[in-house]
Amino acid sequence: MPVTAPTYDLTLLLDPQAEEDARAKIVGDTLATVQAQGELLRHDEWGERPLAYPIERRASAEYHLLQFHTGGTELLSGLDHSLRITDGVLRFRIIKLKPGVPAAPDMRSSAASARRSASSPEGEPEAQVEAASDDEPQDELAESA
C-alpha cells in the first residue's frame, strides 16, 4: 500500500483594509508556493467575516482556506516564514489533518443561505424543525396538567 503525503489545512486571515491587489498577491504567492512544492487540493475563499475578538484593531478579516499535500517540511517552514513577515496577514494557521477527517464545509453557500433565511418573509427560516422522536424525553409538566 503506497504511503500518501499528509494533508494540511492553511487558514489565512487577511486585513480587509489592505488594498485588493495586495491581498490578491498574498493569496497568489501562497498558492504558487504550495503548487511548486506540494499538491494543492482545494482553495476556498470564505470572504470577509467578523472576528471573535479584535486583531490589530480590526473587527473583521478576509478568510481563505487552502488544503494541500506535502511530503517534506520545507514547504511548511517556508510558508511559516513568509506569512509571518508579510504585511496584510493578520493571522494564519497550518494544521496537519488526521486521516479520515471529513472535508471542510462550503462556507460560501452557508453564508448565502443564512442571508436568504434572514430576509425571508415574516423572518421565518426556510427549513422546518423536525418533530421530536419517540426516543426523546417528553415534557412531564404537560402530562401532569
The mean predicted confidence, pLDDT, of the chain is: 78
pLDDT in tens, 92-138: 999 999 887 777 777 765 544 444 444 444 444 443 334 343 444 44
| % of the chain beyond a pLDDT of 70 | 72
SS (H, E, C) the chain: CCCCCCEEEEEEEECCCCCHHHHHHHHHHHHHHHHHHCEEEEEEEEEEEEEEEEECCEEEEEEEEEEEECCCCHHHHHHHHHHHHCCCEEEEEEEECCCCCCCCCCHHHHHHHHHHHHCCHHHCCCCCCCCCCCCCCCCHHHHHC
pLDDT band at 3 (very low <50, low <70, confident <90, very high): low
Tens-digit pLDDT profile for residues 75-87: 999 999 999 999 9
Q: What is the rounded distance in angstroms from the CA atom of residue 13 to the CA atom of residue 138?
A: 45
Task: Report domain 7-99's class.
Answer: alpha beta
**Residue 79: strand, helix, or coil:** helix
Neighbours of 46 (CB within 10 A): 20
Whole-model pTM: value is 0.69
Q: What is the pLDDT of residues 15-67, one digit of tens each?
A: 999 999 999 999 999 999 999 999 999 999 999 999 999 999 999 999 999 99
